[in-house]
Amino acid sequence: MKTIYIASDHAGFECKKEIIKYLEKNLSAYIVHDLGPSSSDRVDYPDYADLVCKKIIKENSNDFGVLICGSGQGMAIRANKFKHIRAALCWDEESAKLSRAHNHANVLCVGSRLLEVDKIKEICTSFLTTQEEEGRHLGRVLKLSSPA
């Protein structure tokens, strides 16, 4: 069974709670682990991006992460500092599908201040159910992991 590690900052806390309930109910092929925070008190989003990325790297490269902050951008910037993490900031189902199929993204980042919870649920479903495409995309994905 694949695992989804999910975390947020204070701006994404309420959204995260709703997304966890949705994932547990609708995507039963996954185990969902909430890595925090446990309240809407102010926290620093890089700390929670780190928790998710370190879990993915340590536990299993086939697992996924979902990171939620106000814009999604801060989480994406931090997550992409980790080797073997390909974090994608997504705003609709198509961007989620393409990030998985073409870029082999393994961490989804979304903005709770920019998107409605129902839209984020749709984005999560698209991201988590889209398969990676090989062929012409594989060479490009390998370049993403090589030093610049």
The SS3 of residue 68 is strand
Structure tokens at 82: 């980790």
Give catalytic residues, as residue numbers: 102
**CA atoms within a 13 Å half-sphere pointing along the CA-CB vector of 27:** 23
Please, which residues have CB within 8 angstroms of residue 50's CB and are 6 or more apart in sequence?
Answer: 78
Token look-up 């990676």 returns: 132
Burial group, residue 10, by CB count within 10 angstroms (0-12, 13-18, 19+): middle
